């Protein structure tokens, strides 16, 4: 009777720990600027001096930038790793620089750290962070995967990037819920940012079409999506101008009006070739839009 010798089964080799530079690339620091800018607008709109509250200001910047925004980037790249392996194979996860389940662990660690910092900062900041983190996961992860909708996906990102970040800055300074006027302006600028997110989708129209993502440039066509984006951004700013004027903040209202007029001058070039000129408009029209946010915040804070 012969004995069959079964070779020993080797244990799976654990994925190597990723390098700090690769983790930083995964978190995409370049994407942190818009929410940190909105956070700064929140601080300004509160009308309070950060003196004596610098620890809360730093905590808020960490929350809106690397912790919430950075975590959302890690979540997105983890759940898009198969698509990125085709379209952008040099990214940290598909390239193997962040191997195994490290991408998921990084997203989970970022989630826990964000909630811990928010808990220490205050109840309203914690509520905003809980909502933002939930949106970050639901945007990219099944079963919700909001990013597959051209309407809901940009709305979620706009609300988190602009609205929640501004809300966090105002809450940090107020130590509670911001005033109604601040909340109204936050709502309008968040609604207008839907147009910004739609313009951002122009860079990936072919990829979105191939992978089934129903972005507005895919479903409406590039030209119609560009017109809609311009209209959404403009109408939101018209609403802000009307509120500022109604509240007697005439200088901020005038500044936002001038900035909106400058955007109108830039829009025809965007609409002539939206796919080619969207990056150019991002550096001109959208810059004017976010400068209007600061002007509005200065008015709300009583500086003008």
Q: Rounded to whole angstroms, how far apart are CA atoms 130 and 186? A: 18
Q: Rounded to whole angstroms, how far apart are CA atoms 147 and 153? A: 4
Same domain, 191 and 291: yes
Q: Which of 284, 256, 255, 253 is nearest to 268 (CA)?
A: 284
DSSP H or E segment with residue 210: helix 205-211
Q: Rounded to whole angstroms, how far apart are CA atoms 66 and 61? A: 8
The pLDDT of residue 174 is: 86
Average pLDDT (33-55) is 93
Whether residue 25 is contained in a domain is answered as: no
Whether residue 77 is contained in a domain is answered as: yes
The pLDDT of residue 71 is: 98
The pLDDT of residue 88 is: 83
Whether residue 183 is contained in a domain is answered as: yes
| CB within 8 Å of 101: residues ≥ 6 apart | 15
**Number of domains the chain contains:** 2
Same domain, 77 and 133: yes
The pLDDT of residue 6 is: 59
147 in Cβ contact with 83 (< 8 Å): no
Buried b (16+ CB within 10 A) or exposed e, 219-246: ebebeebbbbbbebbbebbebbbebbee
Same domain, 128 and 54: yes
Average pLDDT (87-101) is 92
The SS3 assignment for 145 reads coil
Whole-number Cα distances in Å, 246 to 181, 249, 251:
11, 7, 12
Segments forming the whole domain that contains residue 72: 32-40+50-147
Same domain, 268 and 196: yes
| Report field, pTM of the whole predicted structure over 0.95 | no
Same domain, 281 and 200: yes
Over residues 48-66, the pLDDT tens digits come to: 998 888 999 999 999 999 9
Same domain, 226 and 133: no
Please say if the pLDDT value at position 4 is more than 80.
no
Whether residue 26 is contained in a domain is answered as: no
Residue 142, number of CB atoms within 10 A of its CB? 8
Task: Indicate the average pLDDT of the chain.
Answer: 93
Over residues 153-209, the pLDDT tens digits come to: 999 999 999 999 999 999 999 888 999 999 999 999 999 999 999 998 887 787 778
The pLDDT of residue 13 is: 61
Question: 265, exposed or middle or buried, with CB in 10 Å at 0-12, 13-18, 19+?
Answer: exposed
Average pLDDT (226-234) is 98
Q: Which of 129, 140, 113, 117 is nearest to 163 (CA)?
A: 129
DSSP H or E segment with residue 12: none
pLDDT band of 7, cuts 50, 70, 90: low
The pLDDT of residue 212 is: 76
Give the torsion through C-alpha atoms of 257, 238, 264, 30, to 10 deg. 90
Q: Rounded to whole angstroms, how far apart are CA atoms 288 and 280? A: 12
């Amino acid at each position: 009777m012969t004995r069959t010798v079964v070779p020993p089964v080797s244990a799976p080799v654990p994925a190597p720990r990723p390098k700090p530079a690769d983790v930083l690339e995964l978190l995409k620091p370049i994407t942190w600027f818009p929410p940190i800018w909105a956070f700064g607008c929140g601080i300004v709109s509160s009308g309070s001096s950060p003196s004596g509250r610098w620890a809360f200001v730093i905590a808020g910047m960490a929350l809106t930038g690397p912790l919430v925004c950075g975590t959302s980037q890690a979540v997105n790249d983890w759940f898009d790793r198969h698509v990125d392996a085709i379209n952008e194979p040099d990214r940290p996860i598909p390239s193997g620089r962040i191997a195994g389940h490290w991408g998921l662990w990084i997203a989970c660690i970022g989630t826990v750290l964000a909630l811990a910092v928010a808990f220490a900062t205050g109840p309203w900041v914690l509520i905003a962070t809980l909502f933002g983190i939930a949106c970050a996961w639901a945007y990219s992860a099944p079963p919700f995967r909001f990013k597959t909708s051209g309407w809901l996906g940009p709305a979620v990102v706009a609300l988190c990037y602009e609205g929640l970040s501004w809300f966090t800055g105002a809450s940090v300074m107020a130590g509670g819920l911001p005033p109604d006027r601040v909340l109204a302006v936050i709502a309008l600028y968040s609604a207008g940012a839907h147009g910004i997110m739609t313009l951002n989708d122009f860079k990936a129209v072919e990829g979105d079409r191939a992978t089934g993502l129903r972005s507005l440039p895919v479903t409406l066509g590039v030209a119609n999506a560009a017109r809609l984006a311009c209209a959404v951004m403009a109408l939101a700013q018209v609403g802000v101008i009307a509120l500022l004027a109604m509240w007697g903040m005439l200088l901020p209202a005038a500044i936002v009006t001038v900035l909106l007029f400058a955007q109108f001058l830039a829009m025809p070039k965007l609409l002539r070739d939206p796919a080619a000129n969207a990056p150019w408009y991002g550096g001109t029209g959208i810059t004017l839009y976010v400068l209007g946010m600061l002007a509005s915040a200065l008015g709300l804070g009583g500086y003008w």
